[in-house]
Amino acid sequence: MENNNEKRKIKLRLNLFDIIFIACAVIAAVLIVVFSNRTSGGVLNISGTQELVEYSIDLQDMRDDTAYLIKPGDTLIDKVEKRTLGTVVSVEVRPHKEPQRNLLTGERVISETPGRLDATVVVSALATVTESQISVDGLVIRVGTWISVNGPTYHSAGFIAGMKRDDNS
């Protein structure tokens, strides 16, 4: 009879430490579930179709010796996320132009900057295409997005200027 009374006297007592520990465990479980469905870029991992995409990057304000290192066939890697962006298809190098002040008249004019070049690089990559986004190696690419790139012997940064999907779409 005494065993039954002892079993009934056991009560669940929670103190502040126990409540905080349980709350942290619940929050951790929720975060694990939420972030397990996301890529490292924070975008939901939604499956889509694989398509060949060509996009152009306007690399800006490069040193003249760096701009001529970019060659078709180079593999570009995102400098921040360390993801493969694709293969260089073509390169067009042109003088870098920016607004400067004419010292004689005081007006602003667009002029070439000596020793600096811009390049438009066309990149081909296999991308995952959904209704709302296009991603290459898990990195979402959009026209107008600033992107930093590493090549085999160079690095630069610029905007994604245009995008062309496969003709079958």
pLDDT digits (tens, 9 = 90+) for 94-119: 999 999 898 899 899 998 888 899 99
Question: Which parts of the chain have pLDDT scores under 70?
Answer: 1-11, 36-47, 167-169
If we measure between CA atoms, which residue out of 73, 74, 121 comes closest to residue 94?
A: 121
Domain residue spans of the chain: 2-35, 49-165
Give pLDDT, residue 9: 62
Confidence (pLDDT) at 136: 93
Is 68 within 8 Å of 93 (Cβ atoms)?
Answer: yes
- pTM: predicted TM-score of the whole model, two decimal places: 0.68
Give residue 120's region: left, alpha or beta (phi > 0; psi -120 to 50): beta
Quote the pLDDT of residue 83: 93
